[in-house]
A and B are shown apart, each in its own frame.
Chain A
Amino acid sequence: MTTTVATAKDRYLAEFEALDRRGAFRSPSWLAPFRRRAIDRFAESGFPTTRDEDWRYTNLTSLAATPFRPAAPSPAGVPAEALERLALPGVEWARLVFVDGRYSPKLSTARPLPGGGQVASLAAGMITDGDMIERHLGRHVRWDRNVFAALNTAFVEDGGFVSVPPEVRSETPIELVFLATTPGVVAQPRTLIVAGLHSRLTLVERYVGITDEAYFTNAVTEIVAGPGAAVDHYVLQEQGAQAFHVATVHAALGRDSAFDTCEATFGGRLARTTLTLEFAGEGGRGAINGLYVVGGRQHVDHHVTVDHAVPRCASRQLFKGVLDGTARAVFNGRIIVRPDAQKTDATQTNKHLLLSDGVEVDSKPQLEIFADDVKCTHGAAEGQLAPEALFYLKSRGLGEETARALLTYGFAHEVLERVAVEPLQAYLDRLLMARLGSDRITKEIV
């Protein structure tokens, strides 16, 4: 195992040096030393193994053993049928589409933000908003402690860039679609969101695979919310059946800002999300909701850290998982309340619905509280469908499958009902229904 992991590391290092020698990194001068530090960081530790506490339950041997290559310079074509399937009906909002990590202007719908601001690819943003990007990119996410964030930072090339100026309140969502089309390719999209003072924005990130063969997405999203800003953030993960999906999200929240995120995970063979909320100013509020619906041999891992570094912030976490087949779920919810962070109010809930005997769950709360005037609660539960509820539904004429699907839908719905964007909620309902596979329920609810 050590050998394969080491080999995998060397492959990425060699790739980096080759690109660097060719001068293929078209990037501003400040970025070059940054890349170098990040690749050095990656070189130091390489891919984590299950001996790393943060990766104890998630084995990366197969990820490390698969030789992924970067995408070809010109993006692959995307079948019209696939694009159609992706479209959210009835929406008119800005949509940036990335194919295997590269921006595709052809597939994107640009819409200027009212009141100025920028919605662009990160590569374009480096030219137009270089200063802002230099100020924020890689300054929030802890790539020094997160190997995948370091790897992404070393290879940073493209992704989404959204900047909302102070006092601008953007009511329509901005959608970023990261399409994986090519087997064997690694894509490392990098997204930076900067919400100015008292601004408001809604961001939708979608990760979609249209190939059932193996590929690797290593995404990093940094979100910076200024004082009084409100950011709604959604992540829809619909990766292909054999995909490796590693996502790092870091939200740095200024004074009195609000961050609401809801992420829904359906796809991938191995999916790991590392999500960090960092309260950097007093009076911040964060809500983190997550739903994962997995089956077969899927492995899904969420590591959530809420860092209450300052006083008077509130955080709410709700993660629910539905597991079937021999799927495995890992949830690690860490809440840090630092010594100064008095009047912290933090909750965390993690619930799993186990639909088969072959599934496995490792759920671990991790509370590190160093202040004394705080409210902090956590709870975890695992259960199967309640026989009394099944009988109740059957006694109304619903068959076994329909009854099971309806109860599962009900379990998952608690998370989806927090999706405030109606077309998105409807789309998620449909995804969920497709997963539950009940024609009756699909017909009645969607």
Chain B
Amino acid sequence: MLSIRNLSAGVENKPDILKRISLEVKAGEVHAIMGPNGSGKSTLAQVLAGHPGYIVTSGEVTYLGQDLLSLPAEERARAGLFLAFQYPVEIPGVSNAYFLKAAVNERRSRQGQEELDAIEFLQLLDEKLRVVEMDRSFVNRPVNEGFSGGEKKRNEILQMAVLEPKLAILDETDSGLDIDALKTVAQGVNRLRRPDNAMILVTHYQRLLQYVEPDRVHVLFDGRIVKSGGKELALELERKGYDWIREEVTAGEPAGSSVAR
């Protein structure tokens, strides 16, 4: 589904945040990308979603057979890519429902599907609200405005549920959540997991992975994937912290040279 090859990217002042990253994600898989702060996790998420502030210096990304990097953000989204933001943006004056309906119908019309009318959309919305355990009042409020941290994250999952992406990237969706909110978010994610879609969970901590079991875990360190493994790698990181990774890397062990799977 997603194939990242030797991707290097950054921002204007720091063009080398990501250094030759390679990663393969197949349909039905959940990948976790872990790493200490500043390792480039969010940069990877933003680059994949098409944030215009990031500059790709080399490498290629193929998504469902398309050259992902050549597409603007909105076309990536219409092609089924979704980013759950680490810091969801507040949009005053625009209700969640209008925003979501516009997004759903924009995509449906691009895909040649019939657009949903108000009633059909509300049916869809009610169904998806149950997934994230939110009530209707939630969607009548302006997008993320005045939402608590937990509400913002749940709203991201609601959007994901409504938009039914093929590839969802969750950027630190677990950060800032209390345990109940974390469980709700995790439950939502699990319900959206299907054999024909894939997810990338970007996270600092292992705790989300207690509830959402990943197929693969990758450790991002200083812009490189330095270690990949199964879900047990996450537990190891939780137990030992990131210091041993740092030691391994500085000891000059070859890392990230092969394609992470």
Give A residues with C-beta under 8 Å from B.
Answer: 386-389, 391-400, 402-403, 406-407, 409-414, 417, 440-441, 443-445
CA distance A77 to B77 in the complex (A): 52
Q: Verify A395–B106 contact, CB threshold 8 A.
A: no
A414:B92 contact, CB within 8 angstroms: yes
Provide the bound-state CA to CA distance between A395 and B93, in Å.
Answer: 19
Partner of B89, one of A392, A399, A402, A414: A392
Residue pairs across A and B with CB atoms within 8 Å: the count is 89
Q: In the bound complex, how far is the Cα of B91 from the Cα of A441, in angstroms? A: 15
Say yes or no: A444-B105 contact (C-beta < 8 A), given A394-B74, A395-B49, A406-B99.
yes
A396, B51: Cβ atoms closer than 8 Å: no
Measured CB to CB, the closest approach of chain A to B9, in angstroms, equals 16
CB <8 Å contact, B93 and A413: yes
Partner of A389, one of B76, B89, B98, B106: B89
Contacts of A393 in B (CB 8 A): 91, 99
Q: Is the interface of A mostly helix, strand, loop or mixed?
A: helix
Q: Does B163 contact A (CB under 8 A)?
A: yes
Q: Are B73 and A391 within 8 A (Cβ)? A: yes
CA–CA, A443 and B159, complex, Å: 20
A391 touches which one: B51, B94, B101, B110 (CB < 8 A)?
A: B51
A397 touches B93 (CB 8 A): no
**Is the pair B106, A440 in contact by a Cβ cutoff of 8 Å?**
yes
Report B62-98 CB contacts with A as 1/0, cut-off 8 Å: 0000000000111011100011010011111110001
Contact B106 A398 (CB under 8 A): yes
Which residues of chain A come closer than 8 Å to B252, judged between CB atoms?
A: none
Given A410-B142, A443-B105: A396 touches B94 (CB 8 Å cut-off): no
Nearest residue in B to A389 (C-beta to C-beta)? Answer: B89
Tell whether, in the assembled complex, residue B106 and residue A406 are in contact, meaning their CB atoms are under 8 Å apart.
no
Q: Add 4 more A-B contacts to A395-B50, A399-B106, A406-B94 (CB < 8 A).
A: A391-B53, A395-B49, A402-B102, A445-B102
Chain B window 161-196, contacts with chain A (Cβ cutoff 8 Å), 1 for yes, 0 for no? 001000000000000000000000000000000000
Contact with A along B99-126 (1 / 0, CB 8 A): 1011101110010000000000000000
Contacts of A411 in B (CB 8 A): 92-93
**What chain A residues lie within 8 Å of B159 (beta carbons)?**
396
Pair B72/A394 contact, Cβ less than 8 Å: yes
> Which A residues are in CB contact (< 8 Å) with B83?
395
Which of A396, A402, A417, A443: most chain B CB closer than 10 A? A396
Could you jot down 25 A-B contacts, CB within 8 Å? A387-B53, A391-B53, A391-B73, A392-B91, A395-B49, A395-B77, A396-B103, A396-B163, A397-B74, A397-B107, A399-B74, A403-B74, A406-B98, A407-B91, A409-B93, A410-B92, A410-B93, A410-B142, A411-B93, A413-B92, A417-B93, A441-B102, A443-B105, A444-B98, A444-B101
Bound form: Cα–Cα A398–B107 in Å: 8
User: Which one of B88, B91, B110 lies within 8 Å of A410 (CB-CB)?
Assistant: B91
Whether B98 and A445, one on each chain, are in contact in the complex, defined by CB atoms closer than 8 angstroms, is yes
The one of B52, B53, B89, B106 in contact with A397, judged by C-beta atoms closer than 8 angstroms, is B106
- Once A387-B53, A440-B106 are accepted as A-B contacts, the answer to whether A406 and B91 lie under 8 Å apart by CB is yes
Contact, CB under 8 Å: A397 / B51: no
The 4 lowest CB-CB distance pairs between A and B, nearest first, are: A410-B93, A413-B93, A397-B77, A392-B89
| Min distance, Cβ A75 to any Cβ of chain B, angstroms | 40
A242 to chain B, nearest CB (A): 31
| Contact present for B91 and A397 (CB under 8 Å) | no
